[in-house]
Structure formats: C-alpha cells, structure tokens
Amino acid sequence: MLPQAPTVDLLGLRVSRVTRSETMVFLHRFISSKQPHLVVTADATALVLAARDSEFLRIANQAALCTPDGTGLLWASRHLGCPLQERVSGVDLAEQLCADSAKSGFGIYFYGAQPGVAAAAADAMRRRYPGAWIVGVSHGYQATAEEEEAVVRDIQAKNPEVLLVAKGLPRQEKWIVQRMPELNVPLSMGVGGSFDVFSGRVNRAPAWMQRCGLEWFYRLVQDPSKTAKVAALPEFVVRVLRRERMNSEG
C-alpha cells in the first residue's frame, strides 16, 4: 500500500497537508502503481459543497489526495488552528503532468469542457511541451447515455495512465467514481476550468492576484457566469468563523 499524505480537518473535509512538489511525487506513485486513484482539488466552494452534499463529502474524504486549491483554504486552516503549507491548484498540477508526460511517456486523456475546448487545450499543451503524450480528447457535452458510453469506450481504447476531467465540482468527481471500476485509470483528477485556461479561452489572473487570493475576482470579471460559484464565498467565511468560535468556546 502506498503511503498516505497527512490531512487536516476543515469543516469535515479532510484536506491533504502537502506542497505542490510533494503532490507531484504522490501523483507519479499513483501512475506507477497501475491501480486507480482519485485526486480532488478543493477550494472554498468545495468546502461549502461538501457541507451540503454528503455524497461529495464521502468521495472527497475517500480520495487518494484532496489538495488545497485556493487561498481560502489556507486562510481557513490558519483560523482553525491546523495551517496548511501552500496552495496546490488543479490547473498547475494538470500542466505539470503534461510536462512530465513528455519526459516519462505516460498517456493523458482530456475529457470535459465545451466542444472544441479540450482539443484546443491538448494542442496548446503539445506545443508548449513537445512530446507530451495526450492520447485522446472529448468534450463534456454528451446529450445521451449512448454518447457518454462512446466516450467511456474511447478512454478504454486509448488506455491512458492519467484522466483529467473538466466537468466542474462536484459532477467531475462523481463521474470519476462512478466510472472508475470500468476505466481502471491509475490517476484520475477533476480539473474544473483548466482546459479553458490551457486553450487560451480564459486567462489566469496575474501572479500577484493569485498570491493575494483574488483569482476568483479576476475569473468573475472575465466570466460573469461564475457568479454562483462566488456566491458560496460568504457562506464559506461564515462557516469557518462559526467553527472557530465554537472551538474557542469549547
């Protein structure tokens, strides 16, 4: 059995206490193991979803890793007395896996996002990292069960070591867990809007905004459809402060 990463409890969600470099070591171990592993990248919205959705909470807590994808989790961990080390974002992990596939030769499959986006993202990664072995792509807008089964068969035929799924929290994690037994991919990870970033459809916030925890604001300005995601932030803050007060009173 592979070693487990230490975790901290944030409002019931067990978040892995890992750095980005430590996470990459775990991901390569998962790939080498040939056994299926799920990695969840959790931000503040994920904590709120986990509090509302017991199925998602169970999936995230049983995942091989649940990384802190957002400065909000770092803030929460400090307030709750169990500080995490650094942000470990899904988009950074996904890009590093593309870079590493060019060196190590493991195959990656891109599944999700709007039609054309996954293909454009794959082309961009191949240009950025010559030799990156992205073995297949499919958008995430299947209209029928038959169309979804065709995607599953394509993933099985391409036999990747890494499956990146961009269908948004918590749909991507639930889909992975549902399909994991038949796909048997060593490393599956939900990556949210990463394909939009890779393809150039969406720009990442400047580094200073990422450091200051303002990437959510930058994304909202670019894409007002993210309003529902941002609307969860006040609830997140209230839940953290309420738990902090309960801890201090206890």
Q: Look at residue 27 and tell me if it is in a domain.
A: yes
Binned at pLDDT 50, 70 and 90, residue 233 comes out as: confident
Cβ atoms of residues 222 and 203 within 8 Å: yes
Taking residues 77-87, report their average pLDDT: 94
Average pLDDT over residues 215-228: 56
Residue 1 is assigned to a structural domain of this protein: no
In a domain, 139, yes or no: yes
CATH of the domain at 83: 3.40.50
Mean pLDDT of 62-75: 94
Q: 13 lies in a domain? A: yes
78-92, 149-163, 213-227 — which is least confidently predicted? 213-227
pLDDT tens readout for residues 92-123: 999 999 999 999 999 999 999 999 999 999 99
Task: Answer yes or no: is 116 within a domain.
Answer: yes
Which structural domain, as residue segments, surrounds residue 172?
Answer: 7-201
User: Does residue 206 sit within a domain?
Assistant: no
pLDDT of residue 18: 97
Tell me the sheet residues that pair with 108.
134, 162
pLDDT in tens, 41-68: 999 999 999 999 999 999 999 999 999 9
In a domain, 234, yes or no: no
E strand intervals along the chain: 7-10, 13-16, 37-42, 65-68, 108-112, 134-138, 162-166, 187-190
The neighbouring-strand residues paired with 155 are: none
- In terms of phi and psi (left: phi > 0; alpha: psi -120 to 50; beta: otherwise), the region of 18 is beta
Residue 211 has pLDDT above 60, yes or no: no
- CA-based R_g, the chain, Å: 18
Percentage, residues of the chain above pLDDT 90: 77
Domain count, the chain: 1
pTM for the complete prediction? 0.90
